[in-house]
Structure 1
Amino acid sequence: MKSEYKFGYVTIIGKPNVGKSTLMNRIIGQKISITSHRPQTTRHRILGIHTDDQKQIVFVDTPGIHSVAKKSNRRTINRVINKTAITSIDGVDVVCLMIPASGWTDADRHVLTALKGYKTPVVLVINKLDKLKSVNDLLPLISQSNELYPFAAIVPISALGRGSNDNVDHLLDVLTTHLPDAPPGFDEDQITDRSYRFLVSELVREQLFRRLGDELPYATAVEVTEFQLEDKRALINCDIWVEKDSHKAMVIGKKGEALKQIGTAARLNCERLLERKVFLELFVKVRSGWSDNARDLYSLGYDEGV
């Protein structure tokens, strides 16, 4: 490695469903954080590690920060998720605050207030550049943003990689200027701090978010109960937790069709991740009130040090 090699941590924050996980997956080149069109798909703090000849950037993908003033956000799981996101700002070298190209909303401004008191450089990332007819349409938003906060830089991007210039490479260059000179902190072939076991549970949960009704995915959790990784195959069992018998019926579906579709899609994604044949079994179990019970949340890995 060269003596001027850069290494550091970058936290990506923003309101729910603004594109944080999509951006990190794009940079890493592999699905590390699950995505869906639903807000708050991401529930955990997840590291994605980008390494090249000049730098190693450790991205911290976080759950969307939301206001706990709303009654629907006062459950224990929502408070834990919110705290996980906010405490992920501590100790990093740069913060990426992501907002949509459509402009600031009250939810975006709420996230911005979480940055007050921090001296860490903040780069404003304006996502969904591909939604605009012209880059010039961003000029009023950039001017407004400069008045709201002393951002270290403002970088418009398309996290999905749409358009002739998504600007993601430029974002990496900007972030690198704020990183200290240091050797890499992780092996060059490591792309996350999370285990395969965790990533599998997330891939199953992703399908719950993508295939179930509006509220039901938020009342579900996934726990891997068996994980055997062999040379050419993987044997995996997962429990899907729900809070009511009626939820269980909906996850399973008529003649088991919903659960079959969830399992098939999750299995295919697991095979891509593990690069081998996967035998996946899913079991749906009722545990009343798990999302508002600190002990249940801890057993599912939601403590996150908070």
Structure 2
Amino acid sequence: MKKISSYYGSILIIGRSNVGKSTLLNTLIGKKVSIISHKINTTNYNIIGVYNKNSYQIEYIDTPGNIFYNNKSLDLFKKNKYNYIFFILDQNKWNYIEEKFVKILNKINIPIILIINKVDKINKKDILLPYISFLKQKIKFVYLFIISAKYKLYTDNINNIICKKLPKKKHYYPSNYITNQSKKFILKEIIRESIIKYVHQELPYSIKIQINYQKKLIKLPDTISIFLFIKNIRQKKIIIGKNAVIIKLIKYRSEKKIKFFFKKKININLWIKVK
């Protein structure tokens, strides 16, 4: 019997805060594993998402937007284990933030792929050619993709091309592996994202979310109690909302997202406690 070759590669996703890294990660692997918000610095740690298709496996690593704002950023590249780096740009935005990224990227020996995101927001597409010429002077890159991660425009091309460039290598993860985040973590992120959607303040970032089911459970229970610990009564009133409208919206949206991700209908009970 002929042995089937396997292909594997690891890709680091970098870019300024709110550029669309998390949206792109979710789009590329077809699952929501990274929280999305219009507020900056929503992702505060590396999140891994794994794309599996037949004999191909791609490990995508979503990084915080502020990763290059300190002197430790070079630690990411010391092992040089990445096959490519995705440097994501927000339309034609460019200022000191991108300059900081470029200063580091020009020092490393890893192929750079530029991705111009949010092309749906560009009314005059003729600005792209001068912008691309500008980018060629700033940084050396091997590929350029112009996409809208939010609306999944031209994103299929990314996985297709990367798969063709992967080296022959044994897969690092099982074929059913999706993310390095635990079920509890994903549940918390879904709840927090729902809170962010309906509570337009800094409040969602100060809430401590606690889930009561055991960590070692393989299957999620049909009903889960989730506790939201907040600082004071004023915050409690904000989350509940007038006639409990806000908390009902948070519950409804969370259950919908949980069902989509885990392919199972789960009822959640939200409890708010002042701590």
Normalization by structure 2: what TM-score? 0.83
**Is the 8 Å Cα contact of residues 66 and 107 (structure 1) preserved in structure 2?**
no
Identity in percent: 28
Look up the match of 2:138.
148
Return the alpha-carbon distance in structure 2 between the equivalents of residues 272 and 261 of structure 1.
Answer: 17
1:46 aligns with 2:47: yes
Per mean C-alpha deviation after superposition, the further-off stretch among 198-207 and 255-264 is: 255-264
Normalization by structure 1: what TM-score? 0.76
Per mean C-alpha deviation after superposition, the further-off stretch among 147-156 and 246-255 is: 246-255
Return the alpha-carbon distance in structure 2 between the equivalents of residues 14 and 286 of structure 1.
Answer: 37
Equivalent residues, number: 270
> Per-residue deviation at 1:15?
1.1
Per mean C-alpha deviation after superposition, the further-off stretch among 23-32 and 233-242 is: 233-242
Cα distance, 1:67–1:169 mapped onto 2, change above 3 Å: closer
> Per-residue deviation at 1:245?
4.4
Look up the match of 1:266.
254
Return the alpha-carbon distance in structure 2 between the equivalents of residues 44 and 139 of structure 1.
Answer: 34
Look up the match of 1:246.
234
Return the alpha-carbon distance in structure 1 between the equivalents of residues 233 and 103 of structure 2.
Answer: 40
Q: Name the aligned partner's letter for residue 120 of structure 2.
A: D
Look up the match of 2:245.
257
Look up the match of 1:210.
197
Cα distance, 1:67–1:55 mapped onto 2, change above 3 Å: closer
Look up the match of 1:115.
105
Structure 2 gap ranges (5+): none
> Per-residue deviation at 1:174?
4.3
Cα distance, 1:264–1:46 mapped onto 2, change above 3 Å: same
SS at match of 1:277: coil
Give the alignment's Cα RMSD to 1 decimal.
3.0
> Per-residue deviation at 1:44?
3.2
**Is the 8 Å Cα contact of residues 13 and 86 (structure 2) preserved in structure 1?**
yes
SS at match of 2:175: coil
1:199 aligns with 2:182: no
1:100 aligns with 2:124: no
SS at match of 1:13: strand
**Is the 8 Å Cα contact of residues 22 and 34 (structure 2) preserved in structure 1?**
yes
SS at match of 1:96: strand
- Per-residue CA deviations over 1:34-75 (Å, capped at 9, x if unaligned) read 22322223233221111123521011122222786xxxxxxx
SS at match of 1:32: coil
Structure 1 gap ranges (5+): 69-78, 288-306
SS at match of 2:261: helix
1:188 aligns with 2:175: yes
